[in-house]
């Protein structure tokens, strides 16, 4: 190899190495800064996670303290349920438990031990919780601890105040009322194995009621402490499950980082490889120090520093540049050599392709993609199309393509030529030389060409005409089979022989079994539960195994709805898709078998009816003039069953009672002559012993002669003697009932008959209808409309509907109806009746109508009184309760629900003591027992709302009902009255302060003006004395500040000094806002919008002070020093109203003018809570920690001097809105 003589490769190498060194230095610094920021951010995240979890635990303790502080202490079971409802293991994993430590004065310890032992702990005793001395005043004993597992039972009964560490935290919590954490300690629950550092969180529990403003008050109200013991290793592992995987985390008690102060170490066995980030946090009154050291997993997640790649990559790139430049000299010769070798390879490849092209078993052609002309074709292509190759080369592919495929082919060639698709595969038809269509499978691929040459492609054609013909025959055969299979009215199935699973079923099979097709497929008839007779299934399987066929034979299958079906089944084994299957064809013969069975049963029943029926059956033949009778007929007439009794027509006539004979003959002749559809009559017939019985005779002809007259009749005789006797008794009873009905003083009886499609008609009405309705009974019987027309038209549809339903269901009918008497007066009747269906399809109604006018009027008066009382109660402005002597609430009005926050349903499940826990319960119960009618009582107390807050009320009560004893209590909410009293006192105090401030400011202002005058004279006399002039100038500046302060006090007092000059706010406001913006942070913006506005009269300097004060307040409310204040100037026509977020206040009333000039200032801060909005203009009021001045009180004074209105409210989207309404300049 020749030596390299060009200097450029060496220059490129040196330059690349220089750039690499500079880049590596910069990347190293950036990566170090990024890594340090990530470590700090991760450490902050760990601290935030711990602080948030500890804050959550403090919230749990405060909630438990509130629960334990109200009323009596909960039972142990109630405490268990309360702790279980918090789901502590899920919401706060790692907790050891939640406990209550009761404060027990020393003298009450014996009673405490006895009480706990009675609860089921016979060995219970208070044991010291540490090596220290117990407190003389009392003990803090762990009373409740959940969960009460084996580990937590070690702490039960321990006096925690006997240990100095715990005592210090408990006493701090008691005196401050805050959640306090102990120092590092060992929990009572610890064992020798797996001992961990621990700590305890304490929250004081105070009894509700006593004041808690002072330390002494909190000590007197102390009930105990709620505590959460923490095994810190378990707790921190649950709190920091992800964080401790990426870093070694250590937490120390206090500011010292030492092993004796270590609370938690996430990886004690592996010390950190780098110094950790130290953070200090405050947890429940204690200071902790955290150390977070990155672990290897941390670097795996964020990525190890890659600055070392810079020199490697830079050196490699520099070397590569060197090699590239060095190789350029040799590139030309090497490229020429490669080109020559490539040309020889191409020639060899061309020869191979040509040989393959000519001898291929498929038609192949090279086609011009633009014109479609054949450029080259092989012999097979000519065989497929029926042309010699020379003829094909003179034509294009379009001339051989079937017209239906031509458009698709052209589109495919265009896509191929444009490169949209790399290859095309399709099936199409070509036109053979003799005119028939040739089906072929075509594949096309684009061929590479020179840049300026037209596009061309290779087409490969396979003749598939024979394959398509065979496929079509197969499809036609399968279609015919499926059509027969699906359309067959008989059930058909195809089942795989190997496993018995159904492969296909038709719709008739699905209809028979009641199982959808998809549920049948892939399951056997055994799985579907269709076989009911195992012996039939065994015979079915045996037949298939022996001969490959079964049937025709009957089997029984049960459908999904539980019905059994008899099927005549024929089965044949055949091959389907290479598998052995059997085709089953069945015919449902269930109905055929049922008809045969029914016919046999009918014949048996008819024979039984002839032999054993109670009625007598007769068969009369006119040709033989004889009557065949059944055994029952013989027994009815007193003959034996085996005696021969054949009656002629004359014998039958002779046995009929003489009084009934004409009636019976008329009925028989009427039927024989065709005047009656059926022969039926009732008469008496003589028995063998000479006595007579009543019978019901029915008969119908079964044979007729040529003239249509009956020649044979069959009928029955039924003994109705007992019924006739009953009817006679009923007629006698009915006669007596009618006599009784006529004597009823306030009711009348009735019977009426109704039939579908006919007007109901009365059969009977007692005499009372004339007295009560003014209608005579005979008139109503003739015309029932007389009585129905008296009904109230509004009630008639409901009456008819109820009566129809009663008749349809055969149930008693009862309804109260209003009816107009014949004299025009309205009366009320209670109608009660019962329907009785009749044999002819009609319904007989028997009932009584009773006059209830006086009772109805009394009921209406009572309901009206109750409605008035309920209306007064429902809309009363005071809460109203009704309760019994056990204080169980039985009624509450909506105002009671509104004031307490409970729903009406919740109130009805409560007692008075649930709401009033301030008044002594025993005194209340005594007053309920001794209260007498007419006695009233009044009391003042506080009612507890649902959210736990209370409000003052005045209670007035009295005895509402003697038996059972019910009491009416009216509760008036005094919250508003107390607020008014407090506001009045505050106003009086503010008014006194305003008057005093105004007087002081006025006097000071006079004094300051005099002093200012003397200073100005002294400055003149000082002349050229520069030192004296400097001193006098500083004194004058301080004096002017004092004068400004006195002006602010005058503003606050409402006696502000303002000039009355015409101001153009539309021009002044944008200019001043621009100046004011320069004094604000760049992240705090002022938006100004002005409409055309009239002039006002005012003081420009004082209005600047107003805007400065309002913008300063908005700046303090912003998050931190970022936000936006909107200044809007417009004309207000009295339409501006505060949004729904707050009702707003008017410290200064709007001027009584049709229109005012409104200057609106709004910010994006959190706004002011509604409870504080009333005090926003008070001196030194602020929503921050400390008020710094007169604030809006001074603004109110300046606006009052301008005779302007002031409106303050919370905006709908948040933030505070201040609107100042100025009278126009001419007003």
Collapsing DSSP to helix, strand or coil, 895 comes out as helix
Q: Mind spelling out the 3-state secondary structure of 368-417?
A: ECCCCEEEEECHHHHHHHCCCHHHHHCCEHHHHECHHHHHHHHHHHHHHH
Report the range of poorest mean pLDDT among 494-503, 1074-1083, 1171-1180.
Answer: 1171-1180
Top-confidence range, 256-270, 705-719, 809-823 = 809-823
The larger pLDDT score, comparing residue 959 to residue 320, is at 959
User: Distance between CA 608 and CA 89 in Å, rounded?
Assistant: 80
Beta strands in 909-949 (DSSP E): 936-944
769-787 pLDDT, tens digit each: 888 898 888 888 888 888 8
- Judged against a pLDDT cut of 50, whether residue 1139 lies above it is answered with no
pLDDT at 403 over 70: yes
Asked if residue 1009 has pLDDT above 80, the reply is no
Of 888, 884, 879, which is closest to residue 945 (Cα–Cα)?
879
- Mean pLDDT over residues 383-400, rounded? 84
Neighbours of 1164 (CB within 10 A): 19
Report DSSP letters for 990-1039, one per residue.
HHHHHHHHHHHHHHHHHHHHHHHHHHHHHHHHHTT-HHHHHHHHHHHHHH
Q: What are phi and psi of 370, to 5 degrees?
A: -80, -45
**Angle, CA 1053 vertex, CA 1052 and CA 1055 arms, to 5°:** 105
Peptide bond into 552 cis (omega under 30): yes
Q: Per-residue confidence at 1188, pLDDT binned at 50, 70, 90?
A: very low
Of 1208 and 25, the one with more pLDDT: 1208
Tell me, what's the pLDDT at 1141?
A: 45
Residue 242 predicted with pLDDT over 50: yes
CA distance 219 to 736: 92
Q: Which of 307, 252, 273, 263 is nearest to 39 (CA)?
A: 273
Q: 1192-1201 vs 1100-1117: helix axis angle to the nearest 10?
A: 150
Residue 614 has pLDDT above 70, yes or no: no
Average pLDDT over residues 352-379: 81
Instruction: Give dist(CA 1040, CA 1046) in Å, integer.
Output: 10
Long-range contacts of 868-874 (CB under 8 A, 24+ apart): none
Q: Per mean pLDDT, which range of 101-115, 710-724, 736-750 is the poorest?
A: 736-750
Q: What percent of the chain has pLDDT over 70?
A: 81
* Residues linked to residue 141 through DSSP beta bridges, in sequence order: 102, 159
pLDDT of residue 338: 65
The answer to whether 139 touches 108, Cβ cutoff 8 Å, is no
Per-residue pLDDT for 225 more than 60? Answer: yes
- ∠314-319-323 over CA atoms, to 5°? 145
pLDDT score at 1043? 65
In this prediction, residue 1189 carries a pLDDT of 44
**Stretch 834-839: mean pLDDT, rounded?**
85
Q: Which residues pair with 1210 in a beta bridge?
A: 1216
**Span 678-689, pLDDT tens digits:** 888 888 999 888
Give the phi and the psi of residue 1065 in degrees, each rounded to 5.
Answer: -65, -30
Peptide bond into 347 cis (omega under 30): no
**Beta-strand (E) ranges in 147-285?**
158-159, 180-181, 198-206, 222-231, 247-253, 262-265, 277-283
Quote the CA–CA distance of 606 and 617 in Å, as a whole number.
Answer: 11
Question: If you compute the radius of gyration of the chain from its CA atoms, what whole number of angstroms results?
Answer: 56
Structure tokens belonging to residue 678: 């059926």
pLDDT of 864 higher than 60: yes
**DSSP structure class, residue 96:** -
Segment 527-550, tens digit of pLDDT: 888 888 888 888 888 887 777 788
Compute the average pLDDT of residues 552-575.
84
* Phi/psi of residue 503, nearest 5 degrees: -95, -40
State the average pLDDT for the chain: 80
Domains and CATH numbers, the chain: 40-298 (3.30.450.350), 354-463 (3.30.450.20), 470-588 (3.30.450.20), 618-719 (3.30.450.20), 741-858 (3.30.450.20), 876-973 (3.30.450.20), 1056-1222 (3.30.565.10)
The answer to whether residues 437 and 431 touch, using CB atoms and an 8 Å cutoff, is yes
- Average pLDDT in the 90-119 region? 87
Q: Is-contact 142 101, C-beta < 8 A?
A: yes
Distant-in-sequence contacts of 309-315, Cβ < 8 A, 24+ apart: 310/20, 310/23, 310/24, 310/27, 310/28, 311/20, 311/21, 311/24, 313/20, 314/16, 314/17, 314/19, 314/20, 314/21, 314/23, 314/24, 315/16, 315/17, 315/20
Other C-beta atoms lying within 10 Å of the C-beta of residue 790: 19
Q: Does residue 155 contact residue 142 with C-beta atoms inside 8 Å?
A: yes
Of 78, 100, 283, 39, nearest to 184 (Cα)? Answer: 283
Q: How far from the centroid of its chain's Cα atoms is residue 1035's Cα?
A: 73
476 by Cβ neighbours in 10 Å (0-12 / 13-18 / 19+) ranks as exposed
User: Which pLDDT tens digit goes with each residue over 1105-1126?
Assistant: 889 889 888 888 776 667 889 9
Q: What confidence score (pLDDT) does residue 241 get?
A: 75
CA distance 773 to 826: 10
**Which residues are CB-contacts of 1039 (< 8 A; sequence separation ≥ 6)?**
1008, 1011, 1012, 1015
pLDDT of residue 837: 87
Q: Once rounded to an integer, what is the mean pLDDT over residues 332-353?
A: 63
Confidence of residue 1134 (pLDDT cuts 50, 70, 90): confident
Closest residue by Cα to residue 1073 from 1085, 1056, 1061: 1085
Most confident of the ranges 314-318, 627-631, 989-993, 1033-1037 = 627-631
Give how far the C-alpha of residue 103 lies from the chain's centroid of Cα atoms, to the nearest Å: 45
The reported pLDDT for the residue numbered 1180 is 58
Q: To 5 degrees, how large is the angle CA 595–CA 596–CA 599? A: 85
Place of tokens 């204690």: 286
Q: Of the candidates 305, 308, 306, which has an alpha carbon nearest to the alpha carbon of residue 20?
A: 308
pLDDT at residue number 732? 67
Beta bridge partners of 554: 568
| Residue with the larger pLDDT of the pair 693 and 873 | 693
Tell me, what's the pLDDT at 997? 60
Give me the mean pLDDT over the 972-980 stretch. 83
In 720-792, beta strands by DSSP E: 747-754, 761-765
Give the residue with greater pLDDT, 955 vs 475. 955
Q: Please name the residue that has the structure tokens 């200090």.
A: 280
The C-alpha angle 225, 227, 229, rounded to 5 degrees, equals 155
Give the pLDDT confidence of 287-339 residue by residue, as tens digits: 888 888 776 666 666 666 665 666 766 667 767 766 776 666 566 556 566 65
User: According to the model, what pLDDT value does residue 1003 have?
Assistant: 57
The secondary element (H helix, E strand) that includes residue 614 is none
pLDDT in tens, 118-144: 888 888 888 888 887 788 889 999 989
Residue 1031 pLDDT: 72
pLDDT over 90, % of the chain = 7
What's the rounded mean pLDDT across residues 954-977?
87
Residues 958, 936 contacting (CB under 8 angstroms): yes
DSSP-derived pairing of the beta strands 1084-1090 and 1123-1132 = parallel
Greater pLDDT, 606 or 835:
835
Q: What is the pLDDT of residue 1129?
A: 93
- pLDDT beyond 50 at 418: yes
Determine the pLDDT at residue 1142: 47
User: Quick check: 991 pLDDT over 60?
Assistant: no
Maximum separation of any 2 CA atoms in the chain, in Å: 173
Residue among 237, 241, 247 nearest 275 (CA)? 247
Question: With contact defined as beta carbons under 8 Å apart, do 1190 and 1048 qualify?
Answer: yes
Q: What is the DSSP letter of 454?
A: P
Distances (CA, A) of 66 to 203, 226, 948, 1014, 1161: 10, 10, 9, 67, 42
Q: Which long-range contacts (CB under 8 A, 24 or more apart) does 114-122 make?
A: 116/143, 116/157, 119/76, 121/156
User: What's the whole-number mean pLDDT along residues 941-955?
Assistant: 90
User: Which residue has better confidence, 992 or 552?
Assistant: 552
């Amino acid at each position: 190899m020749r030596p390299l003589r060009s200097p450029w490769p060496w220059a490129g190498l040196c330059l690349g190495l220089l750039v690499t060194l500079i880049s590596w230095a910069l990347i190293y610094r950036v990566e170090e800064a990024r890594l340090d920021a990530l470590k700090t951010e991760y450490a902050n995240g760990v601290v935030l996670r711990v602080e948030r979890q500890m804050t959550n635990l403090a919230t749990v303790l405060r909630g438990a303290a509130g629960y334990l502080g109200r009323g009596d202490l909960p039972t142990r079971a109630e405490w268990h349920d309360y702790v279980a409802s918090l789901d502590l293991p899920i919401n706060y994993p790692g907790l050891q438990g939640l406990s209550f430590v009761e404060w027990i004065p020393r003298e009450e310890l014996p009673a405490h031990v006895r009480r706990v032992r009675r609860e089921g702990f016979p060995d219970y005793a208070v044991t010291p919780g540490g090596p220290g001395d117990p407190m003389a005043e009392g003990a803090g004993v762990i009373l409740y601890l959940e969960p009460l597992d084996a580990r937590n039972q070690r702490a039960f009964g321990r006096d925690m105040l006997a240990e100095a560490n715990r005592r210090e935290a408990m006493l701090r919590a008691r005196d401050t009322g805050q959640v306090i954490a102990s120092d590092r300690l060992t929990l009572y629950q610890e064992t020798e194995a797996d001992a961990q550092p621990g700590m305890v969180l304490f929250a004081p529990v105070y009894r509700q009621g006593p004041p808690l403003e002072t330390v002494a008050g909190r000590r007197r109200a102390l009930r105990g402490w709620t505590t959460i013991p923490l095994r810190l290793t378990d707790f921190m592992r649950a709190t920091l499950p992800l964080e401790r995987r990426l870093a070694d985390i250590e937490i120390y008690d206090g500011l010292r980082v030492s092993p004796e102060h270590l609370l938690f170490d996430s990886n004690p066995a592996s010390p950190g490889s780098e110094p950790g980030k130290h953070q200090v946090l405050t947890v429940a009154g204690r200071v902790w120090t955290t150390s977070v050291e990155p672990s290897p997993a941390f670097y795996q997640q964020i990525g190890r520093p890659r600055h070392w790649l810079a020199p490697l990559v830079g050196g490699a790139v520099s070397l590569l540049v060197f090699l590239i430049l060095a190789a350029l000299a040799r590139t030309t010769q090497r490229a020429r050599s490669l080109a020559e070798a490539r040309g020889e390879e191409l020639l060899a490849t061309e020869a191979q392709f040509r040989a393959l092209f000519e001898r291929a078993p498929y038609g192949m052609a090279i086609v011009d993609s633009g014109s479609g002309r054949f450029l080259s074709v092989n012999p097979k292509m000519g065989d497929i199309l029926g042309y010699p190759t020379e003829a094909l080369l003179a034509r294009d592919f379009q001339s051989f393509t079937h017209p239906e495929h031509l458009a698709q082919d052209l589109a495919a060639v265009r896509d191929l030529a444009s490169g949209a698709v790399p290859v095309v595969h399709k099936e199409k038809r070509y036109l053979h030389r003799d005119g028939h269509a040739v089906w072929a499978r075509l594949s096309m691929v684009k061929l590479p060409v020179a840049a300026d040459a037209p596009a061309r492609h290779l087409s490969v054609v396979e003749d598939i005409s024979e394959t398509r013909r065979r496929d079509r025959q197969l499809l036609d055969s399968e279609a015919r089979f499926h059509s027969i299979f699906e359309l067959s009215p008989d059930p058909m199935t195809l089942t795989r022989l190997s496993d018995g699973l159904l492969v296909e079923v038709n719709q008739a099979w699905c209809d028979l079994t009641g199982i959808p097709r998809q549920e049948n497929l892939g399951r056997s008839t055994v799985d579907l539960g269709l076989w009911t007779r195992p012996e039939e299934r065994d015979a079915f399987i045996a037949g298939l195994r022996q001969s490959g066929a079964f049937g025709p034979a009957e089997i029984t299958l049960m459908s999904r709805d539980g019905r059994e079906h008899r099927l005549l089944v024929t089965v044949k084994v055949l091959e389907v898709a290479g598998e052995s299957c059997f085709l089953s064809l069945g015919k449902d013969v269930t109905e055929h078998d049922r008809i045969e069975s029914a016919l046999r049963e009918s014949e048996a029943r008819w024979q039984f009816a002839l032999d054993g029926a109670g009625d007598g059956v007769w068969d009369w033949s006119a040709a033989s003039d004889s009557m065949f009778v059944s055994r029952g007929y013989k027994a009815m007439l007193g003959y034996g069953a085996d005696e021969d009794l054949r009656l002629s027509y004359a014998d039958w006539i002779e046995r009929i009672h003489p009084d009934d004979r004409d009636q019976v003959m008329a009925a028989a002749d009427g039927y024989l002559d065709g005047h009656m559809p059926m022969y039926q009559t009732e008469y008496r017939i003589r028995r063998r012993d000479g006595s007579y019985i009543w019978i019901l005779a029915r008969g119908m002809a079964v044979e007729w002669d040529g003239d249509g007259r009956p020649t044979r009749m069959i009928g029955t005789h039924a003994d109705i003697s007992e019924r006739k006797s009953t009817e006679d008794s009923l007629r006698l009873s009915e006669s007596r009932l009618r006599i009784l009905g006529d004597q009823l003083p306030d009711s009348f009886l009735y019977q009426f008959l109704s039939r579908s499609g006919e007007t109901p008609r009365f059969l009977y009405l007692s005499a009372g209808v004339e007295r009560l309705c003014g209608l005579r009974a005979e008139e109503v019987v003739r015309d029932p409309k007389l009585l129905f027309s008296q009904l109230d038209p509004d009630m008639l549809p409901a009456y008819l509907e109820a009566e129809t339903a009663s008749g349809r269901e055969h149930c008693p009918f009862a309804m109260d109806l209003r009816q107009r008497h014949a004299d025009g007066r309205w009366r009320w009747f209670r109608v009660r009746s019962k329907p009785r269906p009749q044999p002819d399809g009609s319904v007989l109604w028997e009932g009584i109508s009773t006059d209830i006018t006086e009772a109805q009027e009394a009921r209406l008066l009572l309901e009206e009184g109750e409605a008035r009382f309920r209306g007064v109660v429902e809309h009363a402005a005071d809460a109203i309760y009704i309760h019994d002597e056990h204080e169980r609430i039985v009624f509450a009005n909506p105002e009671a629900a509104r004031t307490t926050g409970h729903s009406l349903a919740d109130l009805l499940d409560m007692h008075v003591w649930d709401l009033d826990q301030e008044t002594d319960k025993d005194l209340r119960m005594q007053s309920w027992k001794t209260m007498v009618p007419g006695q009233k009582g009044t009391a003042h107390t506080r009612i507890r709302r649902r959210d736990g807050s209370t409000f003052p009320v005045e209670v007035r009560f009295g005895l509402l009902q003697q038996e059972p004893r019910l009491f009416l209590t009216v509760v008036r909410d005094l919250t508003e009255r107390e607020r008014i009293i407090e506001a009045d006192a505050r106003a009086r105090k503010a008014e006194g302060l305003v008057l005093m401030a105004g007087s002081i400011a006025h006097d000071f202002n006079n004094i300051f003006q005099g002093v200012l005058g003397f200073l100005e004279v002294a400055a003149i006399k000082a002349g050229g004395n520069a030192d004296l002039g400097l001193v006098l100038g500083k004194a004058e500046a301080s004096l002017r500040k004092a004068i400004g302060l006195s002006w602010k006090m005058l503003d606050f007092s409402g006696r502000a000094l303002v000039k009355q000059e015409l101001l153009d706010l539309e021009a002044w406001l944008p200019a001043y806002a621009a100046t004011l913006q320069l004094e604000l942070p760049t992240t705090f913006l002022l938006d100004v919008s002005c409409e055309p506005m009239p002039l006002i009269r005012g003081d420009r300097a004082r209005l600047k002070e107003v805007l400065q004060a309002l913008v300063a307040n908005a700046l303090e409310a912003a998050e931190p020093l970022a936000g936006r204040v909107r200044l809007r100037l417009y004309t207000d026509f009295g339409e501006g109203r505060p949004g729904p977020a707050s009702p707003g206040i008017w410290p200064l009333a709007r001027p009584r003018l049709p229109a005012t000039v409104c200057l609106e200032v709004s910010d994006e801060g959190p706004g002011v809570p509604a409870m504080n909005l009333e005090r926003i203009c008070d001196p030194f009021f602020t929503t921050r920690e400390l008020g710094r001045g007169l604030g809006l009180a001074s603004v109110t004074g300046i606006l009052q001097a301008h005779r302007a209105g002031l409106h303050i409210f919370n905006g709908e989207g948040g933030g505070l809105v201040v609107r100042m309404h100025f009278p126009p300049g001419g007003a």
